[in-house]
């Protein structure tokens, strides 16, 4: 999980809430243009990544459906306070299907039921204060997660958690509740980091020092592509490349 910077609420959503403040998400999305507008804005704000696991959010194509859906961080079913969580822009996130859908594109590697993650195990639970919200609780610096290349597992970065004044327990609870250590995700992260490791070895064998090689790979991988998307599993790449990744991110004024 990385920090997400939330953009301005779409004007169409704002106008809809003014006109029909008690309506539900399901009512809002009955019109495709309204639904697509919110979806596109979420994908843009999140630079193409799932707000929870950081897998790239694939569009629908000839091979299958989009691996994307809109998630309500706070359960939209909560009516205890009178607040309409359905249409609260700050409550909306873009997520993958967490391995639960057989008809998504790239389903041979993305459909792993019952090995689920993200909002699938979260279900309709109110986890406010129990897990991190990528909009408000995850700092741009330092990175409070780390990834082990051999296993692909995410864990709390204890030293950085202390620096950020964030409990490593809530970081671990975030991993546990969202199943960010699902084997599907571990496998994806291993593949990404093993590829980086081979490139790192190749660069050092060609004469670069390890810090030079780490710096070069940080410049290559920790940047947005032509669609303004970050690479999948951004935080794992950042963790693996260490201090050189941090130096590079500060150079490009990374903020989330």
Residue pair 131/179 in contact by the 8 Å Cβ criterion:
no
Tell me if 2 is assigned to some domain: no
Span 51-79, mean pLDDT?
A: 96
Residue 140's pLDDT band (cuts 50, 70, 90): very high
Tell me if 89 is assigned to some domain: yes
Distance CA 205, CA 211 (A): 13
Q: How many structural domains compose the chain?
A: 1
Domain ranges, residue 56: 11-251
Tell me if 1 is assigned to some domain: no
- Name beta bridge partners: 145: 156
Span 84-128, pLDDT tens digits: 999 999 999 999 999 999 999 999 999 999 999 999 999 999 999
Span 149-173, pLDDT tens digits: 999 999 999 999 999 999 999 999 9
pLDDT score at 211? 98
Cβ-in-10-Å burial (0-12, 13-18, 19+) of 155 comes to: middle
Q: Alpha carbon of 67 to those of 12, 138, 211, 233, 255: distances in Å?
A: 24, 24, 36, 15, 26
Paired tokens of 220: 């290559």
Tell me if 4 is assigned to some domain: no
Is the overall model pTM greater than 0.85, yes or no? Answer: yes
pLDDT score at 13? 97
Span 190-241, pLDDT tens digits: 999 999 999 999 999 999 999 999 999 999 999 999 999 999 999 999 999 9
């Amino acid at each position: 999980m990385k920090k997400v910077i939330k953009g301005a609420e779409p004007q169409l959503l704002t106008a809809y809430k003014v006109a029909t403040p008690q309506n539900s998400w399901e009512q809002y999305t009955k019109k495709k243009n309204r639904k697509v507008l919110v979806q596109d804005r979420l994908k843009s704000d999140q630079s193409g990544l799932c707000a929870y696991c950081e897998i790239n959010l694939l569009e629908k194509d000839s091979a299958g459906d989009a691996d994307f859906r809109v998630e309500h961080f706070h359960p939209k079913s909560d009516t205890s306070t009178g607040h309409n969580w359905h249409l609260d822009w700050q409550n909306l996130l873009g997520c993958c299907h967490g391995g639960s859908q057989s008809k998504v594109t790239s389903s041979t590697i993305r459909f792993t039921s019952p090995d689920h993650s993200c909002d699938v195990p979260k279900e309709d639970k109110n986890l406010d204060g129990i897990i991190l919200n990528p909009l408000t609780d995850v700092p741009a610096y330092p990175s409070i997660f780390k990834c082990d290349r051999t296993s692909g597992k995410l864990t709390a970065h204890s030293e950085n958690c202390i620096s950020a004044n964030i409990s490593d327990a809530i970081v671990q609870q975030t991993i546990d509740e969202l199943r960010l250590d699902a084997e599907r995700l571990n496998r994806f992260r291993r593949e990404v980091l093993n590829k980086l490791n081979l490139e790192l070895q190749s660069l050092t064998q060609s004469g670069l020092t390890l810090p030079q090689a780490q710096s070069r790979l940080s410049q290559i991988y920790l940047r947005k592509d032509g669609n303004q998307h970050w690479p999948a599993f951004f935080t794992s790449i950042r963790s693996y490349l260490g201090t050189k990744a941090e130096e590079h991110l500060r150079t490009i004024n990374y903020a989330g």
